[in-house]
Amino acid sequence: MYINPEGSPYYVIASHPFSIVTDSMVEESDTQEELYKGIRHIIAQIEDLSFQLPRNAELYIRFDKAAGGYRYYFVDHDAQTEFWLQDIEMASLSIPEVSSTYHMKHILQNHYWTHVEFFPYKSVPKHLRIRLADLLRHARADQMTSKTSTFPYNAQQCADFIQAIDSDEVTEYMTCLFAHIWAVIARHQCDHFYGEQHVRLCRDRGVSRKPVAQANLYMKICSALVFHLHKGLQVELELLYMDTIVYAVEWRTFITEITKRWQGAAELDVRILSIDTAFLFFPIGPFPRFLAFASILLTMGGILSATILLRRYAKAKNLDAAIVAVYLRQIEDKTLGFGPISATFCIPQACTLWSLLLFPLQILSSICFIPDTIKLPAVYVVACLVILAFILVVGGLRQASFIFFWDNIAITEL
């Protein structure tokens, strides 16, 4: 009996012509008998098919009590791959669609290294150790020089892994570590079509074709109500979920930025709310009082929506990429894409902007109740403030437009 570094027991039978591994409870007589039946049946299949096994083949077999039978697969330690004696439907093994035999190789390598990670009783050959270290060094340099690297680990993580595997020790713990990293890399190579003509070289470049999100009348109205602020967020979410692949570091950056926006909108709403409340104590007419009440409702809506969103996504930064990918798949509309959720994310800021628009109207509508001696200067002051705000907003939009324009130029040139 062997024990995996994480604590799970497994059993190995080193026999000819292949070794056998199982994690079934062989101490139970019924399980042991079923395993032996399965092994004898597999050996009979090999003889009937005249199947030539690889020199370093290994059989994994497990008794499935629920199905009343056994499950198995072979691995080839020399080729780092997985195989079976008969044809297998890919859907039955949860294997995604592949574009070529070479593409399928990476999936089978991922399965192989996962097998080694679970059953690390054999050491990893030296040439694979050296290759892994070289690959991590290259990936580290790529992460340090590019913001759109497709490698799943960042530069610091690569450096830590290089230091961790820099050892000649041959133990189950080192084998498990090597296998875990190799399994992630094999999956990465599969996801990004490594070695194919349509390889993905940047994380923000799509490979598969995806229908363009179409905005209906309802979405156009919502877009106008939030001042089209959601369009930038929609692009960010689409890039974040490019070809259904998610990077945890990109997700954390997105959540950090969006939570800062919600917090900023809530803080500004509190200030506007206090000003609007104080405004009600002045001797003003019914119309400016109505505007003040409307602004108060908007600021309260902004504070409430920001609080709900902040509470909802309080722990979102701690999610790993797999969970985020499932979440993004659930919130993406089949027709509208990420339009609805991005508009929802913009509600706090939209409420703030609406209340800011009502504020100068309150002042202008109250001027008729102000003495003539200060009415004209008040108009000039309000006009200057509105013009200044307009200049700041237009300047910010022009800067953002320039950034997106530059990205589009870069994409066109590529």
Question: Three-state SS string across the chain, please?
Answer: CEECCCCCEEEEECCCCCEEEECCCCCCHHHHHHHHHHHHHHHHHHHHHCCCCCCCEEEEEEEECCCCEEEEEEEECCCCEEECCCCCCHHHHCCCCCCCHHHHHHHHHHHHHHHHHHCCCCCCCHHHHHHHHHHHHHHHHHHHHCCCCCCCCCHHHHHHHHHHHCCCCCCHHHHHHHHHHHHHHHHHHHHCCCCCCCCCCCCCCCCCCCCCCCCCHHHHHHHHHCCCCHHHHHHHHHHHCHHHCCCHHHHHHHHHHHHHHHHHHHHHHHHHHHHHHHHCCCCCCHHHHHHHHHHHHHHHHHHHHHHHHHHHCCCHHHCCHHHHHHHHHHHCECCCECHHHHHHHCHHHHHHHHHHHHHHHHHHHHHHHCCHHHHHHHHHHHHHHHHHHHHHHHHHHHHHHHHHHHHHHHHHHC
- pLDDT for the residue 410: 38
Contacts 24+ apart (CB under 8 A), 83-87: 83/108, 85/42, 85/45, 85/46, 85/49, 85/51, 86/45
- pLDDT for the residue 387: 57
Contact call for residues 116 and 175 (beta carbons, < 8 A): yes
Digit-coded pLDDT (tens) for 240-252:
999 888 998 899 9
Contact call for residues 114 and 179 (beta carbons, < 8 A): yes
pLDDT < 50 stretches in the chain: 372, 375, 379, 382, 385-386, 389-390, 392-414
- pLDDT for the residue 388: 52
In this prediction the pTM is 0.76
- pLDDT for the residue 413: 33
Burial class (CB in 10 A: 0-12, 13-18, 19+), 29: exposed
Q: Which amino acid appears at position 332 of this protein?
A: E
- pLDDT for the residue 5: 93
- pLDDT for the residue 386: 46
Strands of 2-3's sheet in order across: 2-3, 9-13, 19-22, 57-64, 69-76, 81-83
Q: Could you give the CA distance from residue 64 to residue 81 in angstroms, rounded to a whole number? A: 23
Token digits for 209? Answer: 């074709």
Q: What are the residues facing 64 on neighbouring strands?
A: 69
- pLDDT for the residue 384: 61
| Residue among 133, 121, 213 nearest 167 (CA) | 133
Digit-coded pLDDT (tens) for 134-168:
999 999 999 999 989 999 999 999 999 999 998 88
Q: What are the residues facing 19 on neighbouring strands?
A: 58
